Every structure is written in C-alpha cells, then in structure tokens.
Amino acid sequence: MSYETKRLIEIRQGVLSKNDQLAAELRSRFHAAGVTVINLLSSPGAGKTSLLEATMRVMLAECRVAALVGDLATDNDARRLARSGGLVRQIQTGDMCHLEADIVARHLADWDLSQIDLLFIENVGNLVCPAGYDLGEAARVVLLSTTEGEDKPLKYPATFATADAVLLTKMDLAGPVGFDRAMAEENIRAVNPLAPIIATSARSEAGLQEWIAWLREQMQARAKGSKTIA
C-alpha cells in the first residue's frame, strides 16, 4: 500500500470517526426531546420530495412534523415542502454530495426540538456517499424509483444494506417503463433480507397509508426506547 493511499484511508477514518461521535450526540438530543428522525436517501429524481410532501400533509394532522432538506443548490424543495405547513429548512451543501452530522446540528441549532415529534432529513440525491454518514437518525429509508431500473440495489449495495426500509417510488409509472417489481425486490433482498419493502406512488397515493403506518411504528418504538426494523 502506498503512503498516499494509506494517508487517504487514515483521513477518511478520522472524518467518519468524528462524524459518528457527533451523530451519537445528536441521537441523544433527539431521544431526550422525543423526536423520531427519519433519514431519506435516494438518487436524484427518485421522488423524495414528492413523497415527503404527501407524507407531511397526512402526518401534520396528528403530530408536529419538520424537515431538513439537503441539496447542492437552490431552495426549491424546501419551498415546496413548506406548503404543507410544517417547519422546513433548506441546507445548501455547495459541492458536498452528502449531509454530515455537524451540518445537521448547525441547521438545528435554533430549533426547539421539544416542539417536534417527527423530523425528516431529506439527504442530498446520491446513492454513494450518504450511506457512510450517520446523522443521528432513528431510521434510514432508501427510495428506489421505477424509472431507475431494478439493478440499483446490486450496483449500490452499501446504501441498500443500511436501509431500515426501502420504498419503491413512482409505481404509477411501473407499467410504461417496464419495471419488474419482483426482480427489484429480489435484488433488494440479496443485500438486505430484513428491511420492509413498500411500493408507493406520490401521484396516486398508492402505498401511502402503508408507509404512514410504518412511520407510526417508528414513533411508537422511539417512545419505548427502541427501533422497529421489520
């Protein structure tokens, strides 16, 4: 192993170690405040914002919901989500392809977490880097759009392997794009045998209630001091 390679590995390990420490501190804060935090990961255009918009409309009728939205630039997604009536803040990362625990902590600094029951973190659209960064979440949810193809879980196994749930999105387009749901689920199971798989469509709201029920389970589990995975 060359010196340069070894040095890069050491630097990366140091960065991840610091992130894990900050994430643990965040997790303690969330737990103390009674907040259930969901980290949403996907490739760009998989439908995170559309699904989150529909989800927040439903959940705001029964609890206090907030969202942090990560993007390289613009506040387009935050403005969309704010229409739901929930507390929303945009995080512009510039050239960073993922969110990190310190970034999340900084953007939560002036929020009263005791006034939030459910917090969504919409991560930057990317199926590579975000998988390695704990944000103090209670659960990590990965979205796979029907328009992306069935092999994404095999191409990006680390991301899907760390998921507590996988959402198949844009199911209303499954027919036109020739999406093979059985194959997609088989590929997901190859890297993550346990995570529930929920088929959804933000446009038709198919699967929305199943997804909402899963979120309620996470909130109930948080209240009992544990996390429901399956």
Q: Classify residue 149: in a domain, yes or no.
A: yes
**Residue 186 placed within a domain:** yes
Q: What is the pLDDT of residue 122?
A: 96
* Residues facing residue 69 across a β-bridge: 90, 122
Q: Could you tell me if residue 143 is inside a domain?
A: yes
Residue 229 falls inside a structural domain: no
Residue 162 lies in a domain: yes
Q: Write down the pTM of the prediction.
A: 0.90
Between vectors from CA 223 to CA 86 and to CA 166, what angle results, nearest 5°? Answer: 65
Structural domain count, the chain: 1
What percentage of the chain exceeds 70 in pLDDT?
91
CATH number at residue 12: 3.40.50.300
181 is a domain residue: yes
Instruction: For residue 46, give every residue at least 6 positions away whose Cβ sits within 8 Å of its Cβ, in sequence order, or none.
Output: 125, 143, 144, 145, 148, 169, 170
Collapsing DSSP to helix, strand or coil, 141 comes out as strand
31: left (phi over 0), alpha (psi -120 to 50) or beta: alpha
213 located within any domain: yes
The one-character DSSP state at 63 is S
Residues of the chain with pLDDT under 50: 2-11, 226-230
pLDDT for res 1: 52
Structural domain including 90 reads: 3-223
pLDDT at 15: 59
Flag whether 207 is in a domain: yes
Residues paired with 197 in a beta bridge: 166
